[in-house]
Structure 1
Amino acid sequence: MKVHLKRLNNDFHFVTTNERGDEVHLDNKSADKPQGSSPMDLLLRGIAGCSGIDIVHILKKQNLELTNLEMDVEGYRNPEAVPKVFEKIKLIIHLEGEIPENKARRAVDLSLEKYCSVAKMLEKTAEITYDVFLNREQI
């Protein structure tokens, strides 16, 4: 895995390109008009995407049809700390479909506790918690 970064202006706007040519823009969140995500924002997006991929994969292997998946992720940092790493990360996962509750819960548990590489890295500094909703009901 390899990524290239290039500065695009006189401030903090960068573009990163991976080996496939996919581009992601980065910027400092304190910029007047940020033109990309902050690096810390990308970590939260990363855990959401990683877990989302796992959940879909796990349920597909069981021939269960997931009709929708949405996730909200919030990271909490100590503003006095240096560096300001995430100390807590909270995920709220919304699943929809004809899926038994125990299978939906198990897919999320497996993702965040075993398979999601991003979660496994972040758990070294952050307490990761999550709530799971299936068809709008918390399970």
Structure 2
Amino acid sequence: MKITLDRVNDNFHFELKNERGHIVNVDSRPEFGGDNMGASPMELVLMGVAGCSAIDMISILKKQRQEITSFKAEVEGERIQVGEAKPFKEIDVVFFLEGTINEEKAARAAQLSFEKYCSVAKTVEPTATIKYKVVLNGVQLDS
């Protein structure tokens, strides 16, 4: 896996491209000298957690022939000061699923994603606690 980065302006706007040609813009907020032309690197980490776990869950549920009519997630990260850096201390994920989906299968798909499959979660796990909830058809499932 390889990513290339090109600087777009004189501040912190970068264009990143993967080997397949997909482009992501990264920037910093104006209060930190950026121009707000893309997501911050730390926001990309949270996006990675959301995307990785969503792919896992949908894959698991499709194999179990569950009918997913809507899949959304919200991810929030709490950061702490460690020297000059501010890594994530805690990441909270809420999945919102709709469809004809068995409750136990939905809960198990989330559990398997975070405990076994999600490489992004496993990457941040040594420094951040990840908590998750599943809301199925408007009802929060027991964890």
> Quick check: TM above 0.5?
yes
Q: Calculate percent identity across the aligned residue pairs.
A: 50
1:31 shift after superposition: 4.0
Q: Equivalent residue for 1:92?
A: 94
Deviation per CA, 1:47-105, whole angstroms, max 9, x where unpaired? 00000000100001111111111100000001465311000000011111111110110
Q: Is the partner of 2:52 in helix, strand or coil? A: helix
TM-score (norm 1): 0.96
1:33 shift after superposition: 3.5
1:112 shift after superposition: 1.2
Do the aligned partners of 2:11 and 2:34 also contact (CA within 8 Å) in 1? no
The runs of 4+ residues in structure 1 deviating greater than 4 Å are none
Q: Equivalent residue for 1:119?
A: 121
Q: Is the partner of 1:10 in helix, strand or coil? A: coil
Q: Is the partner of 2:28 in helix, strand or coil? A: coil
1:114 shift after superposition: 0.9
**Aligned amino acid, residue 57 of structure 2:** I
Say how many residue pairs are matched.
139
Q: Equivalent residue for 1:40?
A: 42
Structure 1 unaligned spans of 5+: none
Q: Is the partner of 2:76 in helix, strand or coil? A: strand
TM-score (norm 2): 0.93
**Aligned amino acid, residue 10 of structure 1:** D
Q: Equivalent residue for 2:60?
A: 58
Matched, 1:12 2:5: no
**Aligned amino acid, residue 28 of structure 1:** S
Equivalents in 2 of 1:74, 1:36: separation in Å? Answer: 18
Structure 2 unaligned spans of 5+: none
